[in-house]
Structure 1
Amino acid sequence: MAENLAGKVAIVTGAGSRPGEGVGNGRATAILLARAGARLVLADAMEDWAKDTQRMIEAEDGEALAIAADVTQPGQCRAIVEAATGRWGRLDVLVNNVGIGGPKGTAEDVDPDEWARGLLVNVTSMMLMAKYAVPAMRASGGGSIVNIGSVAGLRGGHPNLLYPTSKGAVVNMTRAMAVHHAADGIRVNCICPGMVYTPMVQAGGMTPAKREARRKRSILQVEGTGWDVGAAVTFLCGGNARWMTGAIVPVDAGATAIAALPDEMV
């Protein structure tokens, strides 16, 4: 009954973080899991970014292995899982963190090929990682899968069609997977981040004015970071969440709890 993950082995996809202010969700999650005692396989398409995360973990006397991988490729997903079981003999945690904004446009003007690519990265990759992780977790006596969704998958209003569609699919995929794997002692939950500020968001050309507007789009009106997302993921992976599966957890400063901000309710 604790978040003590000593002796456990975890995979985090998208575990690197691009250069910039703050830290990405994957890197923050990996570091916090390591601080809880887990040994980490850090998968990222950008190997240098994953190795930077590895160095941060090892600087705190944690154990981690960085691996370059494209999680849209079945063989590479299998290799990620085999890296964990080959080095440490077990797998207990999978964090499906990889995701992209995807193509712009509505149903009328989105490019179909870019649409298919967006679904492949944001949805199919999570299925592929689970395909190979579930048998390894079953052999270890159970485990925890956390899929990273988005508040965009819980409500409308997004200017583009792909992103909220794909994140909505992650939400219901989580519920379905929770049912499918409960008998194996595998819990499956979903974190839906809100307007967190990460290097990826920064790289998208975030102006100070837009950043301030995003901060105000919640009840708390406090800017979120990758550490807020990582803390929620770490909780769901630990023993204090042993009775949680199929849960969809917004980490959004209350943005999805309201139809309008208090000063708009006039």
Structure 2
Amino acid sequence: MADRLKDKVVFFSGAGSIGPGWGNGKAAAVAMAREGAKIFALDVNGDAVEETAKVIREEGGAVETTTCDVSKADQVEAAVKKCMDAFGRIDVLDNNVGIIDPGGPEELSEEQWDRLMAINVKSIYLTCRHILPIMTKQGGGSIINISSIASTHSLGYSCISYSASKGAVNAFTRDIALNYGPKGVRCNTILPGLMNTPLIHRGNVTSVYGSTEAMVKARDALVPLSKMGDGWDVAWASVFLASDEAKHITGIELVVDGGITLKVK
């Protein structure tokens, strides 16, 4: 299975990990590099993206990095230019950025709502705005957007801004798939379920359950496969959708949830 992405250039948004361990972005960037891809890794946290790059370099992979807030148009435009200067093309766009703020309309401030929508949705618009012309000129490419089962199902607590943003990601993906398919661009979404990544160990998620131990136990209990997935489950799904093995797949919502959505209707 080696070299499934040989010489493909991946523009990877959200390649760092929030805290120690393997987040979806860090794992996917490393997995793609292990399959022969050249990675242009970016993250708002410079230390985090360099940690990912260090793993890739130590394993002999090709990687360039930049610090970028992908909710800012000028920073995205500059990052795309830097990637083209480094590698000359972009074959895969992986949009892995996302934050979560638990709460409903009464609990969330307008500032929280706007910030989350900018990071979770506007960022995808901005990367696509600047990279789609490159892909169409090249004759094709693959775009992978990370959504969530929260876009279609309840997570058991209110996180209305997160759920709404991921629903928007799904709709955005379908539109790109339909309208850019004739130009050779595929666009797919991955819907992770309850994943045990560094993101969920931050206070704003753990606080819903009272403690980290209670959170892990409660979330594991919801999964038919007995425990939450991890960043590598999303990573290998991303590798597949980026590869030529998925050359006839576009516009799908690939659920990676251990069976949770089979139980919750």
User: Which TM-score band applies after superposition, normalised by the shorter structure?
Assistant: over 0.9
The equivalent position to 1:147 in structure 2, one of 145, 148, 161, is: 145
What's the offset of the Cα at 1:221? 1.4
CA offsets 1:116-170 (integer angstroms, 9 cap, x no match): 1211111111010100011111222211000000010111344121111111111
- 4+ residue segments displaced more than 4 Å: none
Query: Given that residues 143 and 187 in structure 2 are in contact (C-alpha distance below 8 angstroms), is that contact kept between their aligned partners in structure 1?
Result: yes
TM-score (norm 2): 0.93
- Asked if residue 234 in structure 1 is aligned to residue 239 in structure 2, the reply is yes
Give 1:32's aligned amino acid: A
Judge conservation of contact 1:147–1:174 (CA < 8 Å) in 2.
yes
The Cα of 1:67 is off from its aligned counterpart by 0.4
Aligned residues of 1:2 and 1:240 also touching (Cα < 8 A):
no
The Cα shift of 1:180 comes to 1.7
Structure 2: give runs of 5+ residues left out of the alignment: none
CA distance in 1, matches of 2:11, 2:94: 6
**1:76 partnered with 2:79:** no
Cα distance change, pair 2–23 in 1 and its aligned pair in 2 (3 A): closer
| Partners of 1:153 and 1:165 within 8 A in 2 | yes
Q: Are the counterparts in 1 of residues 100 and 159 from structure 2 also a CA contact under 8 Å?
A: no
Select between 152-161 and 212-221 the one with higher mean Cα deviation.
152-161
Q: In the aligned structure 1, how far is the partner of 2:189 from the partner of 2:231?
A: 15
Q: Secondary structure at the match of 2:65?
A: strand
Counterpart of 2:18, as a letter, is R
Map residues 160-239 of structure 1 onto 2, 5 A cutoff.
160-204=159-203, 205=206, 207-239=212-244
C-alpha RMSD of the superposition = 1.7
Please say if residues 3 and 238 of structure 1, whose CA atoms lie closer than 8 Å, have aligned partners that are also in contact.
no
CA contact (8 A) 1:10 1:39 kept: yes
Q: What is the distance in 1 between the residues matched to 2:64 and 2:2?
A: 25
Amino acid at match of 2:170: V
Shift of 1:199: 1.3
Which amino acid in the other structure matches residue 229 of structure 2? Answer: G
**Partner SS for 1:209:** helix
* 1:38-87 CA distance string (max 9 Å, x none): 10011100111101111100111000011000001111111221122111
| Alignment counterpart, residue 248 of structure 2, candidates 224, 243, 246 | 243
Separation of aligned partners in 1, 2:264 and 2:190: 20
**Residue 259 (structure 2) pairs with residue 254 (structure 1):** yes
SS in 1 for 2:174: helix
The residue number in structure 2 matching 1:19 is: 19
* Number of residue pairs the alignment of both structures matches: 258
Identity of matched residues, %: 38
Asked if the contact 2:13–2:43 (Cα under 8 Å) also holds between the matched residues in 1, the reply is yes
Match of 1:5 in 2: 5
